Amino acid sequence: CVDIAKLPKETGMFTYDPGFTATASCKSAITYIDGDQGVLLYRGYPIEQLAEHSNFLEVAYLLMHGELPTPTEFKAFEDEITHHTMVHESANSVIKGFMHDGHPMAMLISMLGALSGIYHNDLDLDDPEQRRLAAIRLIAKVPTIAAASYRHSIGFPKSYPRNDLDYASRFLTMLREVPSEEFELNPVAAKALDLLLILHADHEQNASTSTVRLVGSTGANPYASVASGVAALWGPAHGGANEAVLKMLKEIGKPENVASAVEKAKNKDSGFRLMGFGHRVYKNYDPRAALVRKMTHDVLAQLNVNDPLLEVAMRLEEAALKDEYFVQRKLYPNVDFYSGLIYKALGIPVEMFTVMFAIGRTPGWVAHWLEQQLDPESKIGRPRQVYTGAVSRDYVPVDKR
């Protein structure tokens, strides 16, 4: 038996921080959050101002480049994104290999893996132009893949990106158009989607972005790094919460059942949490949730949608915000709480909700990956552990066990 005190001593300070609640893994100039005040800035610009005045592609440019584009820069950026919306036909067989009820997040992860195979051999990560092009391709192609995944799940043929449309309109058209029928796009729906994408575009070192950075720190292919970010996003504690919120609201069903849902969420043994509530960083109202909340009312009214689940959501928020359990723990609605109701009003099926989050978050992922590639202090991410297992012991032959 080895005396643990005689094992080699670690050098330097060693911290134990499960969930990285107090450990900065990098320096970043992209997004600032003040969780106590409910402040969110992209490159210094308040999210409220970007939501009111900007558009998703301009925000994508801002995240990647650090500054808002001039009209000429924006036009060139938009043209380049539009130019790269097509996905190589050989990758489509990956989607075709899925059962029709395969989850679209699984298809997105696999398709990004396939792109890492397509854009691999000649990819020189030391070349800034090639890095930039990878980022552009990812922002351009993720909606095309997302739409193809959904269409596969309903047995529709793949549709091609309409490059005469803006980013959000193009995605909605690809998703919803029916073969041999004229598709009429509702501009209110496109505007609402664009706004939701802005609100999801970045959120500093969240689980999926940290995953992209961790994988990126090994020098891995950027498409593979983003595929791993999509996988991290899928969990219900992260981006999967928007799908879980809608399922929860449906289960609650009517305002009369809200009180018992709140009681259940307070009981740790129930294994039930209020989905769309709570956040690691925000200990105040999530500023994105405040914007989505207002938007939900506006969009549903403009689209003439009367969704009884909105009433359930409002009563649930009201009840939780008055409850001592939620007040004490500073649990407020997060961005996912209301977003599902808007997606639903836009005719986007619930299995696609987390994919929608992934489309929005792609500029954030690639901006962080690009920033990391330029960071002279960046090194391979390699957390340590506090070992709790057996100390060194001798192998026991099978007949002696």
Residues annotated catalytic, as ranges: 279, 336
- For residue 1, CA distances in Å to 4, 5, 312, 401 come to 9, 12, 60, 18
Give the shortest CB-344-to-ligand ACO separation in angstroms: 17
Task: Give, as ranges, the residues between 203 and 242 that touch ligand ACO (CB under 6 A).
Answer: 237-239, 241
279 binds ligand ACO (CB under 6 A): yes
377: helix, strand or coil = coil
Out of 81, 94, 275, 312, name the contact with ligand ACO by CB under 6 A: 275
Give the shortest CB-76-to-ligand ACO separation in angstroms: 32
Out of 274, 313, 366, 370, name the contact with ligand ACO by CB under 6 A: 274
Task: Give, as ranges, the residues between 47 and 106 that touch ligand ACO (CB under 6 A).
Answer: none
Question: Which tokens in the block code for residue 391?
Answer: 């100390």
32: helix, strand or coil = strand
| Cβ proximity to ligand ACO, 69 vs 363, nearer residue | 363
| Cβ proximity to ligand ACO, 151 vs 288, nearer residue | 288
Determine contact, residues 206/20, Cβ cutoff 8 Å. no
Out of 170, 273, 293, 315, name the contact with ligand ACO by CB under 6 A: 273
Amino acid in the structure at residue 115? L
Determine contact, residues 95/115, Cβ cutoff 8 Å. no
152 binds ligand ACO (CB under 6 A): no
Residue 200 host element (H or E):
helix 187-200
- For residue 111, CA distances in Å to 105, 107, 118, 353 come to 10, 6, 10, 18
Out of 69, 104, 222, 278, name the contact with ligand ACO by CB under 6 A: 278
Spatial separation of the C-alpha atoms in residues 36 and 220, rounded to whole Å: 35
277 binds ligand ACO (CB under 6 A): yes
Closest CA to 344 of 275, 251, 249, 277: 249
7 binds ligand ACO (CB under 6 A): no
Spatial separation of the C-alpha atoms in residues 141 and 242, rounded to whole Å: 22
Q: How many residues bind to ligand ACO according to rule CB under 6 A?
A: 19
Give the residue nearest to ligand ACO (CB): 278
371 binds ligand ACO (CB under 6 A): no
The residue ranges that bind ligand ACO (CB under 6 A) are 19, 237-239, 241, 265, 273-280, 329, 331, 334-336
